[in-house]
Amino acid sequence: MAFKHFSSLVLLTLASQAVRGAVMKRATCADGRTTANAACCVLFPILDDIQEALFDGAECGEEVHESLRLTFHDAIGFSPTKGGGGADGSIVTFDEIETAFHANGGIDDIVDAQKPFIARHNISAGDFIQFAGAVGVSNCPGAPRLNFLLGRPPATAASPNGLIPEPFDTVTDILARMGDAGFSPEEVVALLASHSVAAADHVDETIPGTPFDSTPGEFDSQFFIETQLRGTAFPGVGGNQGEVESPLAGEIRIQSDHDLARDSRTACEWQSFVNNQAKLQSAFKAAMDKLATLGQDRSKLIDCSDVIPVPKPLQSKAHFPAGLTMNNIEQACASTPFPALTADPGPVTTVPPVPPS
């Protein structure tokens, strides 16, 4: 008995020493903040600078949306057969070439906004793009805390044209392109949770800042709900390439989201995110981790994920926008019924644009 107590005591002491050891290994940076690896200390001044001067005081606004889009447009320039360095910053380093690609319409705004930050900090363009994306997303309530790995070397060449999906591409073409870059259809759907914090400036040039869902400042499943509602009208002039009718005034729907929500290869995965914040977060985090390191040698990168702020939890519940019900859902998943949701009270929802900053 006494021996048993003694051995538990030894084990306890050893365990607490191990915990202390692990805690003590954390590096304390110049400003007193700690991180698992001293090499990550360089990121704290960059974090403060972008939260203040790029994201207007840690908002989930236009620059966050654009920075998230940029993570994709840099990274997806990667193909085992056609070339491209993936998440290497080539969209900034070779911006004169890449921002001219049709699929990169409007991306020059955020490239120009990010360039001075890259210039005044000691960080590669590839690292900065993914860091700004991860920090930016953390400003959106409901988002997962994305991983961030540091150490991408400078890009050596521009990506070839034609690797970025367009809103008028077919589901077959989108899944093939994304598959070529290493993503399953399920991961493609998970990545599109990004369109929950998104707006379009250039699909219909007459209505810049038109959101993809009614809550562009929150990382929630409203995007997956609202893309499943029957489209009834265009928010602007209509007739634009890659645009289809949306269910709400002030909301835009791109053809690829509409089709992916209804295609038998992706519809059930799409629906699975409705009112499932835990899955939305974990699947998006995993897919973004893969996206952020496309074309990179992960063994050479340092895990600085603990520098990324912890996002606030979501306050609102999944719902039908006011004035709409289950009768407006175009059920596409054959095997599982659409989740039961309540509608917001009040007059029919009109979605305001995301303000420019």
Contact call for residues 136 and 68 (beta carbons, < 8 A): yes
* Number of CB atoms found within 10 A of residue 319's CB: 20
The catalytic residue positions are 73
196 is written with which tokens?
């929950």
Closest contact distance (angstroms) between CB of 250 and ligand HEM is 14
Considering only 41, 46, 66, 311, the residue that binds ligand HEM (CB under 6 A) is 66
Q: DSSP per residue over 332-354, as a string?
A: --SSSPPPP-PBPSSSPPBPPPP
Considering only 56, 108, 166, 330, the residue that binds ligand HEM (CB under 6 A) is 166
**Stretch touching ligand HEM by CB under 6 A, among 4-12, 48-56, 59-67, 87-95:** 59-67
Q: Does 285 bind ligand HEM (CB under 6 A)?
A: no
Distance CA 210, CA 251 (A): 6
86 is in an annotated binding site: yes
293 is in an annotated binding site: no
Q: Does 198 bind ligand HEM (CB under 6 A)?
A: yes
* Number of CB atoms found within 10 A of residue 315's CB: 9
Q: Which is nearer to ligand HEM, 194 or 271 (CB)?
A: 194
65 is in an annotated binding site: no
**Stretch touching ligand HEM by CB under 6 A, among 68-76, 116-124, 307-315, 332-340:** 68-76
Instruction: Report helix, strand or coil for 247.
Output: coil
Q: Does 132 bind ligand HEM (CB under 6 A)?
A: no
Distance CA 90, CA 296 (A): 13
Closest contact distance (angstroms) between CB of 23 and ligand HEM is 34
183 is written with which tokens?
């993503």
Contact call for residues 161 and 264 (beta carbons, < 8 A): no
Instruction: Considering only residues 83 through 112, tell me which ones interact with ligand HEM, judged by CB under 6 A.
Output: 106
Considering only 40, 42, 47, 72, the residue that binds ligand HEM (CB under 6 A) is 72
Query: What residue has token string 């993503």?
Result: 183
Instruction: Considering only residues 235 through 274, tell me which ones interact with ligand HEM, judged by CB under 6 A.
Output: 254, 256
Say which residues have a Cβ less than 8 Å from residue 350's Cβ, sequence separation at least 6: 248, 249, 250
Q: Which is nearer to ligand HEM, 41 or 76 (CB)?
A: 76
Known binding positions = 74, 86, 88, 90, 195-196, 213, 215, 220
What is the contact surface with ligand HEM in residues (CB under 6 A)? Answer: 62, 65-66, 68-69, 71-72, 106, 165-167, 174, 191-192, 194-195, 197-203, 254, 256
